[in-house]
């Protein structure tokens, strides 16, 4: 059942509409799991997940207990206009949760979204990095929620769980807002902006069904074994930034295991044909974030490596 959760007038002959699909199982069940995506309009990996999940659930409602709600587009204007943010609004949508009932249009919309998701037994918020960086399928969890959420993250068939420090600015995210309202919420990051990586989507869908089975919401077939993700607390995340501006030529593939001293990429100057910088791995570890957008400025993030060694 398609339900409209937000409908606000735009100036000329259009409404800003946010919809969800409520899929109710044929079996008795009270639990609700919500799959949300499309907060950032340039992150599209979640669209394939929403489609496949919809299809598989609707073909197998006899296995479903409870309800799955799918929200493909929290930022429909952004998705449709190839814009990360909400057109006409300055702030990142994922930095104004829980929103404000009496606030400006977007703050009001965010409030309505929060109210609609609140109380679910699990929310999975699917992100896809940005247009610059490819991410290994991972779940990101704030340290204060780690004990509660890591076991769920480990069910999702992903490769990495990044438990990060609490930062005040992240208190305005969808996930923090819902977690602080006792609505367990996991943030999945995978793939890259403006693309769909079906392999990642298929893996996540297997993980979602596995989770649903563990939550006693799904009686149907599930994969026997899901990927056992690395846990960031077992090591350190190393950040590698460009020291110079230019064009980046990677020497490795994403998700590769690299050794200390391996050449990760070169930054070059196409005008003079010079190599401006060679970026070497400082550690042995797995490249879970890799820049694919070729233009870099000084400071641009080039890669993130997870290592069991110290970064410096």
Partner 1 sequence: MREEILLQMKSPYRDDFKIRAFRFGEGKKSMAIVGSLRGDEVQQQFICSQLVKNLIELEKNGCILPGHEIMVIPSANHFSMNINKRFWAMDNTDINRMFPGYENGETTQRIASAIFESVKDYKYGIQLASYYIPGQFIPHVRMMDTGYQNTNIAKRFGLPYIFIRDPKPYDTTVLNYNWQVFGTQAFSIFSGDTNNINKDTAKITWISILRFMHKSKIINFPMHDGFISKTISDTDTVTVKSDDAGILYALKGAGDEVKKGDLLAKILDPFTGATRSQILSPVKGAIFFAHQKPLIHQNSVLFKIINW
Binding interface with partner 1 (CB under 8 A): 8-13, 16, 84-85, 88-92, 95-96, 102-105, 108, 130, 132, 168-172, 239, 241, 244-247, 295-301
Count Cβ atoms below 10 Å from residue 262 Cβ, excluding itself: 16
8 Å CB contact between 35 and 208: yes
DSSP element (H, E) containing 10 = strand 2-10
In the complex, the smallest distance separating the C-beta of residue 145 from partner 1, rounded to whole angstroms, is 16
Cα–Cα dist 20/27, whole Å: 21
Least gap, CB of 85 to partner 1 (angstroms):
8
Nearer to partner 1, 44 or 110 (CB): 110
State the number of CA atoms in the 13 A half-sphere of 161 facing the CB: 24
To the nearest 10 degrees (0 to 180), the angle between helices 45-59 and 198-214 is 50
Contact predicate 41/82, CB 8 Å: yes
The nearer residue to partner 1, 10 or 263, going by C-beta atoms, is 10
Identify the helix (H) or strand (E) that includes residue 235: none
Residue with smaller CB distance to partner 1, 199 or 269: 269
List for the chain the helix, strand, coil content (%; round to 5). 25, 35, 40
DSSP 80: H
């Amino acid at each position: 059942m398609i339900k409209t959760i937000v409908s606000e007038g735009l100036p000329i002959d259009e409404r800003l509409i946010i919809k969800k699909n409520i899929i109710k199982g044929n079996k008795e069940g009270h639990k609700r799991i919500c799959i949300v995506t499309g907060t950032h309009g340039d992150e599209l990996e979640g669209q394939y997940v929403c489609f496949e999940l919809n299809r598989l659930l609707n073909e197998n409602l006899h296995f479903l207990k409870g309800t799955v709600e799918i929200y493909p587009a929290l930022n429909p204007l952004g998705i449709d206009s190839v814009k990360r943010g909400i057109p006409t609004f300055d702030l990142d949508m994922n930095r104004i949760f829980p929103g404000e009932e009496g606030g400006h249009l977007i703050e009001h919309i965010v409030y309505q979204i929060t109210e609609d998701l609140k109380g679910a037994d699990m929310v999975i918020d699917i992100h896809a990095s940005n247009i610059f960086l490819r991410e290994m399928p991972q779940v990101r969890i704030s340290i204060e929620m780690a004990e509660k959420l890591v076991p769920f993250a480990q069910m999702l068939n992903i490769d990495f769980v990044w438990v990060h420090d609490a930062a005040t600015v992240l208190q305005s995210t969808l996930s923090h807002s819902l977690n602080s309202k006792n609505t367990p919420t996991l943030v999945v990051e995978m793939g890259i902006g403006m693309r769909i990586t079906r392999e990642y989507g298929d893996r996540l869908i297997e993980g979602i069904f596995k989770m649903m089975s563990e939550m006693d919401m799904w009686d149907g077939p599930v994969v026997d074994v899901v990927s056992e993700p690395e846990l960031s607390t077992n090591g350190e995340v190393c950040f590698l930034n460009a020291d110079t501006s230019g064009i980046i030529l990677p020497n490795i593939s994403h998700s590769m295991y690299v050794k200390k001293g391996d050449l990760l990429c070169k930054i070059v100057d196409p005008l003079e044909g010079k190599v401006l910088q060679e970026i070497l791995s400082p550690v042995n570890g797995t490249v879970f974030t890799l820049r694919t957008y070729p233009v870099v400025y000084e400071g641009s993030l080039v890669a993130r490596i997870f290592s069991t060694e110290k970064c410096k």
